């Protein structure tokens, strides 16, 4: 029974020990700021720099202190574990989406020489997270959630947008942090 707890501790350590360092500049809380932070992940992938890719993806993790400050101790612990799983899925989904770009171009008969890029746009204005389903044990206000559409686009020719996804983020400690898939916060059961 100790192995699952050890595994959770290791997972939490890996997910949450890569802080948004002081050496990194703050990202503006704007659609342009989100594009800047997210596009850096794609640039790392294009440069075939796996460690930088993982580090930049990790910059989207909600820091552990937020859970301790926002929820009662029993709920903070539970939600931290739940978030670690959800964040790991976000990282896997992002990597899989990027890996699927070239096969998608083949399936859509897009010339392989046509470059692609990632463009993001705010899907909605910032939403009041207090109106969404709130978890028990909340002791501080939630930051506003922002949904962003993440588009893979062919940069030349008639192809345009190849695929799109929507993710929710909050702005915390000078960076955007993954908050949930589409419009659902991470603590709400998936459809």
pLDDT in tens, 136-186: 889 998 888 889 988 888 877 666 788 888 899 999 999 999 999 877 888
Backbone angles phi, psi at 130, to 5 degrees: -75, -20
What is the reported pTM? Answer: 0.80
Cα angle, residue 117 at apex, residues 111 and 120 outer, rounded to 5°:
140
Neighbours of 143 (CB within 10 A): 18
**What tens digit of pLDDT does each residue of 35-53 get?**
999 999 999 988 999 999 9
Residue with tokens 């700021």: 33
Helices (H), the chain: 2-16, 31-46, 50-58, 64-70, 73-99, 101-107
Report the chain's C-alpha Rg in angstroms: 18
Task: Say how far apart CA 113 and CA 164 lie, in whole Å.
Answer: 21
């Amino acid at each position: 029974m100790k192995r699952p707890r050890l595994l959770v501790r290791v997972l939490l350590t890996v997910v949450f020990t890569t802080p948004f360092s002081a050496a990194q500049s703050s990202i503006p809380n704007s659609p342009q700021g989100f594009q800047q932070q997210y596009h850096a992940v794609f640039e790392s992938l294009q440069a075939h720099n796996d460690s930088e890719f993982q580090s930049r993806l990790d910059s989207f993790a909600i820091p552990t202190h937020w859970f301790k400050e926002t929820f009662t101790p029993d709920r903070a612990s539970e939600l931290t574990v739940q978030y670690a799983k959800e964040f790991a899925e976000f990282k896997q989904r992002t990597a899989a989406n990027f890996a699927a770009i070239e096969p998608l171009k083949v399936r859509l008969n897009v010339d392989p020489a046509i470059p692609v890029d990632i463009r993001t746009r705010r899907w909605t204005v910032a939403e009041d997270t207090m109106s969404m389903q709130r978890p028990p044990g909340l002791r501080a206000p939630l930051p506003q959630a922002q949904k962003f559409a993440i588009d893979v686009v062919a940069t030349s020719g008639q192809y345009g947008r190849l695929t799109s996804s929507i993710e929710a983020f909050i702005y915390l400690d000078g960076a955007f942090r993954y908050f949930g898939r589409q419009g659902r916060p991470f603590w709400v059961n998936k459809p």
